């Protein structure tokens, strides 16, 4: 399964580079099925960055993804990411 990274999670004054918003479906019911699963992104150099889907973000099928070790670069916005 795949999802599309749409945005960094941000507040009024700063961005959280280790937290991202990902679109996985068209409704909250579809997005609720993937909570707790892990995600992985492979860089062009072969490095793998892993994260975990933590909770829903709104009611439109978006979820919050938390990357513990390292955040993703800005080039991943709008790209597909694997859900395992």
Closest residue by Cα to residue 17 from 51, 42, 55: 51
In 3-state terms the chain splits into helix, strand, coil percentages (rounded to 5) of 10, 50, 40
Q: Is residue 38 within 8 Å of residue 1, measured between CB atoms?
A: no
- pLDDT for res 69: 85
Per domain, the residue ranges of the chain are 26-37+52-65
Q: Spell out the per-residue pLDDT of the chain, length 84, in tens.
A: 999 999 999 899 998 889 999 999 999 999 999 999 999 999 999 999 999 999 999 999 999 999 988 889 999 999 999 999
Closest residue by Cα to residue 22 from 73, 80, 84: 80
């Amino acid at each position: 399964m795949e999802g599309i990274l749409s945005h960094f999670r941000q507040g009024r004054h700063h961005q959280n580079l280790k937290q991202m918003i990902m679109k996985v479906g068209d409704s909250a019911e579809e997005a609720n099925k993937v909570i707790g699963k892990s995600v992985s992104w492979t860089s062009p150099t072969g490095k793998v960055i892993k994260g975990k889907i933590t909770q829903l973000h709104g009611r439109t099928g978006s979820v919050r993804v938390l990357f513990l070790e390292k955040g993703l670069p800005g080039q991943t916005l709008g790209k597909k990411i694997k859900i395992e």
